[in-house]
Amino acid sequence: MTVGVKICGINDPAAFDAAVEAGADWLGFVFFPRSPRYITPERAADLSARATGGPARVGLFVDPTDAAIETVLGLVRLDALQLYVDTARAREVRSRYGVPVWHAVGIASPADLPTDVEGIDRLVLEAKPPQMASRPGGNATRFDWSLLHDWRAPAPWILAGGLDPDNVLAAIQATGAAAVDVSSGVESAPGVKDPGLIRSFVATARRA
């Protein structure tokens, strides 16, 4: 089995080119203004045009309005929408736009593990953010991977949160993840991707 790899938070040509050349399966554009990885739809379209084909493009949205989604889809071809919303809203977006939906889920205890994913194409599992966090997602931290040992995944899923080139192999071995997602773990500063770290992360995950 080849482990799938997503590089999220792509926002400059060097990062885009590195993800493409390393053979990543997905690259993510963050359409959330409070993120240091935020990219405008116009900029994402320009970057995406640097390669025909290559990694699938995933758009990350946090509680988006329909207008926000439509603006992005009008400018950028996206192969999936990664949504930080409740389950009902994720299903609504999937039905309305016909684009595969990845539902991001914060994990802190067994009770957080999803069991019902009707209308969802993929799950993104990451640490539940701290109560005072200004952004959703793993916030560069990992959850207790042992929580996944007895979980029966109801849909394809991707492991995220706190991953980097040094721990991704252990993460895959500990969880049996068929796909992994990294953002801050391949950065030299918040929002600044390091091409060397991108290449290292992809190569290490492929060794699993």
Percent above pLDDT 90 for the chain: 88
- The rounded distance, in Å, linking the Cα atoms of 198 and 187 is 8
pLDDT per residue as tens digits for the range 164-200: 999 999 999 999 999 999 999 999 999 999 999 999 9
Residue with structure tokens 């379209």? Answer: 45
Sign of the Cα pseudo-torsion (132, 137, 139, 145, in order): positive
Whole-number Å distance between alpha carbons of 141 and 126 = 8
Average pLDDT, the chain: 94
Q: Which domains does the chain possess?
A: 4-206 (3.20.20.70)
Question: 39-90, pLDDT tens digit by residue?
Answer: 999 999 999 999 999 999 999 999 999 999 999 999 999 999 999 999 999 9
Instruction: Identify the pLDDT of residue 163.
Output: 96
Closest CA to 119 of 148, 98, 139: 98
Residue 129 predicted with pLDDT over 80: no
Report the distance separating Cα 144 and Cα 146, nearest Å: 5
End-to-end Cα, the chain, rounded Å: 9
